[in-house]
Amino acid sequence: MSSCSIAQRVTGPKVRPKEIENEIDERGAFIRQPNRFTTPFGDGEEDLKAENGKYRLFWAKGCHWSNRASIVRDLLGLEDAIGINLVGHSKENRSYGWEFVYNEDRKDPVLGAQYLSEFYYNADPDYAGRCTVPALVDVTTKRVVNNDYHRLTNYFETAFAPYQKEDAPDLYPEELREQIDDFNNWLFPNVNNGTYRMMFAQSIIAYQEAFEDFYNALDTIEERLSKNRFLFGDYVTDSDVRLFVTLARFDTHYYRNLGPIKKRIVDYENIWGYCRDLYEIQAFRNNTYFRDIAAPQSDNTAFFQDFNSRFVDQIDYEGFWSTPQNRKELSKTPEEKFKR
C-alpha cells in the first residue's frame, strides 16, 4: 500500500499552490510562505532527536534552499547517518509538485512514495501550502519532521555532531554563532530570497525594491571579500554555503526571469574568485548541477530561447568554474579552508 495519507488515497495528489496566486501582498511584493515543520533538534522534551539512520533528506538540483543542506551533509560526512534522494519535475505531473523522477517507477526506493507531498500530508492531512525542499523525513513514520531551511544546516552542524566524520569541519564555530546567525538573517531577504523577490514581483515598485536590496548587498559582500578569503575570514562557515548556492544560480538561471541586470556574478572580481575557491571543494562541486540548473525552460524551440538554453551543451561549466584564482593570498592558512 502507498505511504499516502487517507486524504490522498481518497482525493489523489493535490495540485501545487502557485506563488503568484498565494504569496503576493497588496503591494505586489512576494512574501514567501513560512515553513510548516520547524520543530528544532535539541535536548528539550518536545525537540527532535538526532539518531543515526532515522531520517532521509530530500532535495532538488535547482533549489538552492535544499542544495545548502546537501552540501553541508556532504562536508560533515553524514552520508551514513542521513539518507538522501533527489526530486524533480515530470512534464505530465508538474502540477503536483516534486516527484521522484530519477527513480524506477518514479518512487523513492526506501519509502515508496511517488510525490514528496505524500510525506507532508502524512504529517498534516490539512496542509495547504507548497510542499517544499529541503524536507527531512522520519523513515519510521514517513512524515516530514523538519522543512526549516533557515536552521536545518545548523542542526546538521550541531545536533548530528556524534555522527559526523572524524575530521569534519567546524562550519558553525561556537564563538561565531551569533555573528553567523546575524549575517544569515541579513543574507536571507537581501540575497537568498532577493532573487525570488525580483522574479515573483507583481509590481514595478516591489521589483525595484528587491533589485536595489540585492545589488546593494552584493556590493557590501564584494567589499567584505576584498579583505577576507571567506565571509568570516580564513575558514568556510555555514554562511558561505548559503551564499554560494544563490550565486551559483544567478548567471545560469535566475537572470532569465529578470529585467535588465546591473551586473553578472562574474563581473564582481572578489565574489567571482570566491565562488571558484569554494567550487574547488568536492562537496560544493559534487552537489552543484550546472547543466540541470541551466537547462532549457521549454521544449518549444519555435520561440526565442535564452543564451544558456541555446548553448547549455556547449558551455564548459566545469572548466569555467575551475578557472584559477588567487584567493589563498588573503588567508593565514592558504592550504586549509576549514576549521577542524
The mean-pLDDT minimum among 89-93, 234-238, 299-303 falls in 299-303
Evaluate if residue 301 carries a pLDDT over 80. no
Per annotation, catalytic residue among 4, 63, 274, 279: 63
Over residues 175-181, mean pLDDT: 98
Quick check: 21 pLDDT over 70? yes
Q: What percent of the chain has pLDDT over 70?
A: 94
Place 131 in a pLDDT band, splitting at 50, 70 and 90.
very high
**What are the binding residues?**
98, 130-133
Give the mean model confidence (pLDDT) for residues 96-102. 97
Residue 94's identity, in one-letter code, is R
- Asked if the model's pLDDT at residue 2 lies above 70, the reply is no
Ranges of CATH 3.40.30.10 domains, the chain: 6-163
Element (H, E) at 210: helix 204-224
**Distance between CA atoms of 236 and 285, rounded to whole angstroms?**
15
pLDDT tier, 8 (very low <50, low <70, confident <90, very high otherwise): very low
Check whether 5 has a pLDDT greater than 90: no
> How would residue 148 be classed by pLDDT, with cut points 50, 70 and 90?
very high
Please give the average per-residue pLDDT across 67-86, as a whole number.
98
**pLDDT averaged over every residue in the chain:** 94
CA distances in angstroms from 339 to 59, 135, 142, 254, 333, listed in the order given: 27, 28, 36, 32, 10
Region 83-99: what's the mean pLDDT? 95
User: Which pLDDT belongs to residue 117?
Assistant: 97
Pairing of strands 143-146, 135-138: antiparallel
**Residues 54, 159: Cα–Cα separation, whole Å:** 13
**Cα–Cα distances in angstroms (integers) from residue 9 to residues 13, 84, 125, 135, in the given order:** 8, 25, 11, 21
- Residues 146-179 as b/e (b if ≥16 CB within 10 A, e otherwise) read bbbbbbbbbbbbbbbeebbeeebbbbbbeebeee
Banded model confidence at residue 309, pLDDT cuts 50, 70, 90: confident
- Other residues' Cβ atoms within 10 Å of the Cβ of residue 222: 17
Q: The domain 6-163 belongs to what CATH superfamily? A: Glutaredoxin (3.40.30.10)
Q: Is 60 helix (H, G, I), strand (E, B) or coil?
A: strand
Nine-digit cell at 300?
518549444
For 274, the grid coordinates are 570566491
Strand partners, 233: 230
pLDDT in tens, 152-173: 999 999 999 999 999 999 999 9
Name the grid cell of 206: 516591489
Is the predicted pLDDT of residue 3 greater than 70, yes or no?
Answer: no
Q: What's the gap between Cα 308 and its chain centre?
A: 21
Please tell me which residue, 13 or 133, carries the higher pLDDT value. 133
Q: Are 62 and 248 in contact (CB under 8 A)?
A: no
In the structure grid, which three cell numbers stand for residue 111, read together?
519509502
- Least Cα distance to 209 among 49, 28, 20, 1 occurs for 28
CB atoms within 10 A of CB 335: 6
pLDDT confidence bin for 308, thresholds 50/70/90: confident
d(CA 155, CA 152): 5
| Residue ranges at the known binding site for glutathione | 98, 130-133
Catalytic residue among 121, 155, 172, 196: 196
Among 292, 297, 290, CA closest to 257: 297
Query: What pLDDT does residue 296 have?
Result: 80
Per DSSP, the residues of 230-266 read BTTBSS--HHHHHHHHHHHHHTTTGGGGSSS-S--GG
- Which pLDDT score, from 0 to 100, does residue 73 have? 98
pLDDT at 10 over 60: no
Q: Which amino acid is at 59?
A: W
The reported pLDDT for the residue numbered 300 is 66
The domain defined by 174-330 carries CATH number 3.40.50.300: no
Is 196 noted as a catalytic residue in this protein? yes
Q: Determine the average pLDDT of the residues in 228-238.
A: 98
Q: What is the pLDDT of residue 303?
A: 67
